[in-house]
Chains A and B, each alone.
Chain A
Amino acid sequence: MDKAKIVIGVIGADVHAVGNRILEYAFSSAGFDVTNLGVMVSQEEFIAAAIETDADAILVSSLYGHGELDVRGLREKCDESGLEGILLYVGGNIVVGKQPFAEVEKRFKKMGFDRVFAPGTPPEVDIYFLKKDLGTLTEAEREAGKEIEQYNEHAEVGYAGSSTD
């Protein structure tokens, strides 16, 4: 089977490049065909890249706290551009201040994201859910994923600092 294709990048005026590289490495190693748009990526760039590469999912990162503003309307623009139903994930320090993760997750899901990941989520978690959503989990992965299923439920806060590491 062809490799699943994903587009990743850090949205908005955010220049956090390190985590982005780690994600590219992790997803590529896990067998995905990764198009990495790097940092300071606009919504339009995500969409154009997803159309041109026929991507199965768009994974948006945001580390600087402004993600909630930056991602607004992305789902609608995807629909408008012919990417109806494409998987949208978001993760990182996606909101300002300390907020209960469950509420943050709810707000982002309402904006049309299929999965929302709390700060510090290890890449294995994203990989597991991505394979699950794409229906490509092996039996062994499904078995090993039982713990991961619980992961997001234990995440309690979504924290983002405006002065960052």
Chain B
Amino acid sequence: MQAVLLIDFGSTYTKLTAVDLDKEEFLGNANSFTTVETDINDGLARALAALKTRTGELEFREQLACSSAAGGLRMVVSGLMPELTAEAARSAALGAGAKVVRTYSHTLTSPDLAEIREIEPEIFLITGGTDGGNKEVILSNARALATTDLQCPFVYAGNRVIADEVSEILKEFDLTVCPNVMPRLGELNIEPVQERIRELFLESIVYAKGLSQVEELISNIMMPTPQAMLKAMELLARGSGRVEGIGDLLAIDLGGATTDVYSMASGSPRLSSTVIKGLPEPYARRTVEGDIGMRYSVDGIIAAAGIERVKEISGLDSDSISHWCETLRADPAQLPDQEEIEALDFALSCLAVETAVTRHAGHLEEFYTPMGQVFAQSGKDLRGVRKIIATGGSLIYSSTLNNILSYALYNPQDPGSLKPEKADYLIDKNYILSAMGVLSERYPDIALKIMRKELLHE
């Protein structure tokens, strides 16, 4: 046996997954609370003890980790127009596994700067202007940032023409210049920035967080957890070259505070005559809904879906709903142990899935023009996606999972929302995806085979 230990230092739990490289299989997993206050090694040791009671004594030849502990990779990004470079910057940061705390557009004002100081981002990404495009706003933002005492590294990925000037303005700061996220209007180039974000995460940020005295433990951390998820899912969808992938997929990670949705699909329009609107979206796309979560963000779900839908699905009246929501807010560790909470939890899960997937999926608008009917698509057409993956505690332990996931499907009542028409549901019941993303850095074939075994039961 050649055992490898995969560690996910989460914001709440440290999750361990052990795999055997020889048999290419999952050996076992265990959790314990993440101990950021003392040393993350403490929580790890506890989880490890729990793991070994399940698997027996294991000798690990390698230990690899990802981390979203101590707030994850907290980034602030700025761009020029909200729907163009600011969106491109945000999309780049999310795809690099960051938690985007704030996205600014246009000129940074003094209240903005005060807010940024308050946030204390770990990386600041400055963008704006196509190559040869706007200069004034981006230069003004660089000058404004130069007046702050921010310690974080800066990445500049805006108008190439003023890169030297920006470097000069921010010469007192740790600044890296990357290629523009939007070199021409509507054309995205986000990979170089993402590569740089990951380097910064590895070089400085994991150390700066002071997570552990154990040097070796920190050097095992290879990427932020959301990036590990993206890597796992891209590998699962596309295959490794030697092992076949399962094709386009959609994945939902429903958490307590936020909900992440991932899609691995090109999402091209079905009809060649469809007019495409908005920015192109990457094949591997991640969106994070900060207002949708099963405990801390219950109000966000109700605000987005409307109380009527909650009533309809849960069968509860308004008073019971507000009573139980109050209970959940007061004690986020509350598990659905009573009938009414269970009904409410079910309704909230359904609506969280529906809201988050609807926001992630593309949209088709129908126009009647003097030339006849015309369709305009923004975002990705996911109607052809046939696999939906459920991950995250709020989903994988649910007994009514299939019903909940059906809310991720295309709904004839809302025909413009391009969600999958029908799909097989795959459950990440042992929570292995982030671990396999990390493992895939060294052993992509084995990581893919284990995912196929675990999710498809091959």
Nearest residue in B to A48 (C-beta to C-beta)? B81
Among the interface residues A49, A52, A65, A164, which one has the most CB atoms of the partner chain B within 10 A? A52
Binds B, one of A32-40, A100-108, A127-135, A136-144: A32-40
Nearest residue in B to A12 (C-beta to C-beta)? B369
Among the interface residues A2, A16, A35, which one has the most CB atoms of the partner chain B within 10 A? A35
B410 to chain A, nearest CB (A): 24
CA distance A117 to B371 in the complex (A): 23
Instruction: Flag if A52 contacts B371 (CB, 8 Å).
Output: no
CA distance A162 to B372 in the complex (A): 11
Instruction: Flag if A52 contacts B84 (CB, 8 Å).
Output: yes
B102-130 contacts to A, CB under 8 A, are: 128-130
B247 to chain A, nearest CB (A): 30
Q: Does any Cβ of B come within 8 Å of A163's Cβ?
A: yes
Q: Does any Cβ of A come within 8 Å of B60's Cβ?
A: no
By a CB distance below 8 angstroms, the chain B residues around A164 are 370-371
CA distance A13 to B365 in the complex (A): 12
CA distance A134 to B85 in the complex (A): 27
By a CB distance below 8 angstroms, the chain B residues around A35 are 130, 184-185
Instruction: Flag if A53 contacts B132 (CB, 8 Å).
Output: yes
CA distance A35 to B187 in the complex (A): 11
Among the interface residues B182, B277, B369, B370, which one has the most CB atoms of the partner chain A within 10 A? B370
Given A15-B275, A35-B185, A39-B275, A52–B85 Cβ distance below 8 Å? yes
Q: Does any Cβ of A come within 8 Å of B133's Cβ?
A: yes
By a CB distance below 8 angstroms, the chain B residues around A156 are none
Q: Does any Cβ of B come within 8 Å of A76's Cβ?
A: no
Nearest residue in A to B84 (C-beta to C-beta)? A52
CA distance A11 to B315 in the complex (A): 48
Nearest residue in A to B277 (C-beta to C-beta)? A40
A76 to chain B, nearest CB (A): 18
By a CB distance below 8 angstroms, the chain A residues around B135 are 54
Q: Does any Cβ of B come within 8 Å of A64's Cβ?
A: yes
Instruction: Flag if A162 contacts B277 (CB, 8 Å).
Output: no
By a CB distance below 8 angstroms, the chain A residues around B304 are none
B256-296 contacts to A, CB under 8 A, are: 275, 277
* Residue from B133, B277, B376 in contact with A52 in the complex, judged by beta carbons closer than 8 Å: B133
A118 to chain B, nearest CB (A): 20
A100-122 contacts to B, CB under 8 A, are: none
Instruction: Flag if B370 contacts A51 (CB, 8 Å).
Output: no
Instruction: Flag if B133 contacts A65 (CB, 8 Å).
Output: no
B276 to chain A, nearest CB (A): 8
Instruction: Flag if B184 contacts A14 (CB, 8 Å).
Output: no
Instruction: Flag if B85 contacts A2 (CB, 8 Å).
Output: no
* Residue from A7, A13, A48, A54 in contact with B369 in the complex, judged by beta carbons closer than 8 Å: A13
CA distance A25 to B325 in the complex (A): 60
Nearest 8 A-B pairs (CB), nearest first? A53-B133, A13-B369, A54-B134, A54-B133, A48-B81, A35-B185, A53-B130, A64-B370
B: residues with CB less than 8 A from A are: 80-81, 83-85, 128-130, 132-135, 182, 184-185, 275, 277, 367-371, 374, 376
Q: List 14 A-B contacts (CB under 8 A).
A: A13-B370, A14-B369, A33-B132, A40-B374, A52-B133, A52-B185, A53-B130, A53-B134, A53-B185, A54-B129, A54-B134, A54-B135, A64-B369, A64-B371
